[in-house]
Amino acid sequence: MSVTTANDDTPAGPSVSHQSVPHQVNRLIFDAGQPYEKFLSRFEAVVPPMDPRLPLDCAWRHARWPGIVPEADLSRRHGFVLYWRADMAALMTADGELRPCTGYLMGNQAIAQKIYRQDPAVMLYAPLRALIYIDASDRTRFAVDQPSTVFASFADPAIARLGIGLDGQLAELLEAVGVQAGPLLQVAHVRKRFRIADTAIAGTTIQDH
């Protein structure tokens, strides 16, 4: 990955500075192997919407995420909550019948909080954007950019580790709704489990710095 910086600091005009950061992202598209409405219901059952009252309450109480959502509740949700949902076909204005497509913004508040401390620019990609749709072959698909490849673009080891952690959580979520996660996410899933096991044996607490 290369970073290009341009500066124009001539007396005739204001100083202008920008960066161009080329990076590669893996778009993951999974075959749900289920009817659209059934898969939609399963997905939304395990990734419920965030309580709309929580952001205001958090700001008022200066609360941390662990104090707002119990750990058991996060486990039930496979680490993700929904911040936004939209019927994309209904938003389009075109002649003819459009294939069903539902868009989501989903995330893990605890992880987002950690990577935000490292670099607020990560909010370009947090929460994650995901789609459930029917493709041209009438198959139900789930699409999302692979978190580890998205966050690797920041060239920060701490952010990269958290991105790999999100890969593992995404694999667990897909397994919960009956979808094979595939080799890339399975590797992250295994790494996450080894980290948890090693930490339990050592009697320490997992922390990402």
**pLDDT higher for 74 or 141?**
141
- 158-193 pLDDT, tens per residue? 999 989 989 999 999 999 999 988 887 877 776 665
User: Can you give the pLDDT at residue 130?
Assistant: 97
Look up the pTM and report it. 0.74
- 116-165 pLDDT, tens per residue? 888 999 999 999 999 999 999 999 999 999 999 999 999 899 999 989 98
pLDDT confidence bin for 95, thresholds 50/70/90 = low
Q: What is the mean pLDDT of the chain?
A: 77
Which of 74, 104, 81, 78 has its CA nearest to residue 168?
78
pLDDT confidence bin for 96, thresholds 50/70/90 = low
φ and ψ of 63, to 5 deg: -85, 155
- Give 5-68 as a 3 state SS string: EEEECCCCCCCEEEEECCCCCCEEEEECCCCHHHHHHHHHHHCCECCCCHHHHHHHHCCCHHHH
Alpha helices in 107-206 (DSSP H): 109-118, 147-151, 157-176, 183-202
φ and ψ of 96, to 5 deg: 90, 170
Which of 170, 70, 67 has its CA nearest to residue 127?
170
